[in-house]
Amino acid sequence: MMKKVTRMVGKYEVGRTIGEGNFAKVKFAQNRETGESVAMKILAKSTILKHKMVDQIKREISIMKIVRHPNIVRLHEVLSSRTKIYIILEFVTGGELFDKIVHQGRLSENESRRYFQQLIDAVAHCHRKGVYHRDLKPENLLLDAFGNLKVSDFGLSALRQKGVGLLHTTCGTPNYVAPEVLGHQGYDGAAADVWSCGVILFVLMAGYLPFEEIDLPTLCRKINAAKYSCPFWFSPVAKALIDKILDPNPKTRIGIEGIKKHPWFRKSYEPVGHSEEEEVNLDDVHAVFDDIEDHYVAEQLENSEGGPLVMNAFEMIALSQGLNLSALFDRRQDYVKKQTRFVSHKPAKVIISAFEAVAESMNLKFHTHNYKTRLEGISENKAGQFAVVLEVYEVGPSLFMVDARKASGETLEYHEFYKNFCAQLENIIWKPPEGC
C-alpha cells in the first residue's frame, strides 16, 4: 500500500524538491485555494543568521518584487515560520535555456534574436528600476511552457543607490563577466550587464563560449583584450552588433538603447506589453525580515513512515509539462538537464542499494536518508565540490520514479556524470518495449 505524505505551508501543499543549493531548497508546491502551481524556495533562518545573509536575502526578495516584467520570474509572496523563510515564485516549466543549447547545439539566428530581444527587454526594465543583475548567463534564463524567456536568480543583484555612481563588488561567472568587473575597479552595472548579454548572444548563435580557458589568469587576459572570433555562419550584421557589445572599454561599449536601435535587433521586434507602474507592496518582506524570529505561517506534516514519498497525478502532470507523460517513461525523450529522471520496477530498497554500489565504484561519497541519496566528489577541474541528489518516489504499485538533480558543480559535468551513472544502472532502469 502506498504511503501518502502531505506537507502544508499556509495555503500551499508542498511536493517534491526541484532544486537545491548551499543555502536553500526549491520545492514544487500547489496553492490549495486557486490550484496554481508555484515554486517554493525554502531557507532556514538559522543558516541565514549564521552566515549573516539577512540583508542579502532581503535585498534579493525586494528586487524581485520591484522588477515585475513578463520576461522575469515573478515573486508572488514571502512567508515565514518559526524556523524557515518561504519565497513563493512563479513555477516555470520549460527548463533552462542552457539545456536547450546543450540538447540542440547552436540555435538559428532568428531563434537567437527572439531570445535576445526578450532578454534585452527584461534587462532594460531592471535598469529603469535601478537594478543591475550582475550574473546573467544561460543557466539563469528559464523558458516557460510557451518558449518565452524568464530571467531568474537575482542573488547577486545590486540596487542603484543615491550618491553612489560605480559598483565595486566582483561577482558573477567569469566567462560572462565584463573586463572592468574582473579588474577590481569601480564599474557601471548597466554596461557590465550589457557585456554579459553579448556573451549570451554569442553562445546562443555559436553553441560555445567566446572566452574559454582552463586557467583563470589566461581567461581574464582574453576577456580584457576581448580576444574572440565569430564563426563563419554569423551574418555580418549580427557580428557587427556583437563586436559593439563585446567592447572591452565600457565607455565606448554600446548601451541598451543603442542595441534596441540596431538593425539586427529591430528585425521582427515586438516589445512586450506590461504595466510599468504596477504598485509594489513590500509589507510581507518587511514582516518576515524586520523580526526574523516571529512566527507567521502554519507548517503541517502528515507522514506515514516506512516507504518513499508518493507522487500524485497533479505533480506528475506538472513534472512532464502537460498531459503527455511519455517522457517520464522513455529515456530516449529525456535529454540530459540539470534535473533528470527515470522509472524502475525494482523495489525502492534495491534501487537505493544500486545507487550506493555505483557510487562506490565511481569513488563518490554517499549518504542515504528516507529514500534520498546524496553523492559527493571533487569537480574535474578541482575547483570545488561536485554533488548530486537522487530521490525515489512511488508513482504506482511496484512502480518507482527516480529524480536526479545537480546540487553543486558545473552543469556540463553533471551531464557527463548522469550518462555514466545511468550506464551502470541498466539492470534497474525500465525501458519501454520497442515500438511503444
234 in the same domain as 124: yes
5 grid coordinates: 505524505
Last residue of a domain, one of 302, 328, 362: 302
Q: Cα 125 from chain centroid?
A: 20
Mean pLDDT of the chain, nearest integer: 76
58 in the same domain as 159: no
Give yes or no for residue 173 having a pLDDT over 70. no
135 in the same domain as 13: no
Confidence band, pLDDT 50/70/90 cuts, at residue 328: very low
Last residue of a domain, one of 266, 284, 317: 266
Which one has a higher pLDDT value, 293 or 309? 309
CATH number for the domain that contains residue 359: 3.30.310.80
220 grid coordinates: 581574464
**pLDDT tens figures, 376-391:** 887 665 556 778 888 8
Which one has a higher pLDDT value, 211 or 233? 233
334 in the same domain as 256: no
Task: Identify whether 285 is part of a domain.
Answer: no
**pLDDT tens figures, 50-82:** 777 777 777 777 777 777 888 988 888 888 777
- Residue ranges at the known binding site: 50
Element housing 19 (H / E): strand 12-20
What's the pLDDT score for residue 325? 40
Task: Identify whether 157 is part of a domain.
Answer: yes
- Residue ranges at the known binding site for ATP: 50
CATH number for the domain that contains residue 39: 3.30.200.20
Nearest Cα neighbor of 268 from 125, 421, 114 is 114
250 in the same domain as 101: yes
Nearest Cα neighbor of 264 from 303, 302, 238 is 238
CA distances from 356 to 100, 201, 385, 419 (A): 31, 41, 19, 17
Last residue of a domain, one of 212, 247, 266: 266
Buried b (16+ CB within 10 A) or exposed e, 79-117: bbbeebbbbbbbbbbbbbbbbbbbeeebbebeebbbbbb
The residue-averaged pLDDT of 392-401 equals 76
315 in the same domain as 396: yes
What's the pLDDT score for residue 137? 84
145 grid coordinates: 511552457
141 grid coordinates: 534564463
Give yes or no for residue 302 having a pLDDT over 90. no
Active site residues: 135
What's the pLDDT score for residue 203? 92
Task: Identify whether 418 is part of a domain.
Answer: yes
166 in the same domain as 148: yes
Q: Cα 107 from chain centroid?
A: 20
346 in the same domain as 383: yes
| Distance (Å, whole) CA 414 – CA 336 | 9
CATH number for the domain that contains residue 244: 1.10.510.10
**pLDDT tens figures, 231-249:** 999 999 999 999 999 999 9
Residue 130's domain spans which residues?
97-266
How many structural domains does the chain have?
3
- Name residue 309's beta-bridge partners: 393
pTM more than 0.85: no
Confidence band, pLDDT 50/70/90 cuts, at residue 287: low
129 in the same domain as 258: yes
161 in the same domain as 44: no
What's the pLDDT score for residue 253? 93
Cβ atoms of residues 124 and 71 within 8 Å: no
The residue-averaged pLDDT of 202-216 equals 85
